[in-house]
A and B are shown apart, each in its own frame.
Chain A
Amino acid sequence: MNMNVKRREALKTGGSVTLFALIAAAGWAIPREAKAADSWNKAAFDTKTMDETTKALGGSTPVSSKDITFFQTPDIAENGAVVPIGVTSTIPKTESIAILIDKNPNMVAAMFDIPAGTEPSISTRVKMAQTSNVFALVKADGKYYVASKEVKVTLGGCGG
């Protein structure tokens, strides 16, 4: 019986390899870049509140943590179109870091997956519509943690 199962698995795997080869041949997927074209969590990017976001990510209510710190993040941003945000997590087994802007039309700005060997510290630049809390949502060992910092915006980043 075990043999049979294995044969079926092999058939299945064989089938999907062929399909992938076809897709690759059609020029849809270049194997080296395949990793970048993973998936995009539309549900998470459509959320407007922290509760919705964690729900879309399949997690529970995040616990506030002092082990998440912001760096290069201004108290007052003159230009809301370009606000530097840096987040470092010292929570062991940090798996991902997300940057959320409370008062933006959609809350989630960016989500980073941190593989083992990469430091749980990233920095980027985001747009901010107005003065708002910036949240850093960290997933570590399957649990969610959060820290926030208020950034005052003099000129919003979503106007015409």
Chain B
Amino acid sequence: MADPMRIRANVVGDATEVKVLMNHEMETGLRKDAQGKAIPAWFIQNVAATHNGKTVLSAQWGPGVSKNPFLSFKFKGGAKGEKVLISWTDNKGDKRTDEATIA
């Protein structure tokens, strides 16, 4: 299982701002190791954010997203104390879900 994400969710006006920092190698599959062998691709493909069971953002990523990806977005609504759920799935089928409390 991959390392946990760092998620921060804050109420800003009438919206909730979510900032996520994920832990992932995001290997492109184009790099070579010291022996000249290609390092296989390993990256997050799907990301979804939900609040109260409703999807507030979904994304498809390619290997062009940086290592340890950062993501920030805002959605309308959301109150202090409520939870925001972020989950991702990578190309090896590994997945992780973390939640944060809106502050």
Which A residues contact B (CB, under 8 angstroms)? 32-33, 35-41, 44-45, 81-84, 86, 101, 104-106, 108-115, 117-119, 121-127, 157-160
Contacts and interface: CB of A to CB of B under 8 A. Distances in A.
Chain B at the A interface: SS class: strand
A125 B58 contact: no
A37 B75 contact: no
Contacts of B65: 109-110, 124-127
A123 B60 contact: no
A109 B63 CA distance: 7
A121 B77 contact: no
Given A33-B97, A36-B89, A113-B57, A118 B75 contact: yes
22 contacts: A32-B85, A32-B87, A33-B97, A36-B46, A38-B46, A106-B62, A108-B62, A108-B64, A109-B61, A115-B55, A115-B56, A115-B58, A117-B75, A117-B76, A117-B77, A118-B76, A119-B75, A121-B73, A124-B69, A127-B63, A158-B30, A158-B31
Contact of A82 (B56, B58, B62, B66): B66
Contacts of B56: 115, 117-118
A81 B28 contact: no
A112 B30 contact: no
Q: Which of A83, A86, A114, A121 has the most CB of B within 10 A?
A: A114
B45 interface: yes
B92 interface: no
Query: Which of A44, A111, A117: most chain B CB closer than 10 A?
Result: A117
Interface size class of B (residues with CB under 8 A): 35 or more
Contacts of B67: 81-82
A146 B44 CA distance: 25
Contacts of B66: 81-83, 124-127, 157
A113 B55 CA distance: 10
B10 interface: no
Interface string B5-25: 000000000010000000000
Given A37-B46, A37-B95, A125 B64 contact: no
Given A115-B55, A118-B73, A119-B73, A40 B64 contact: no
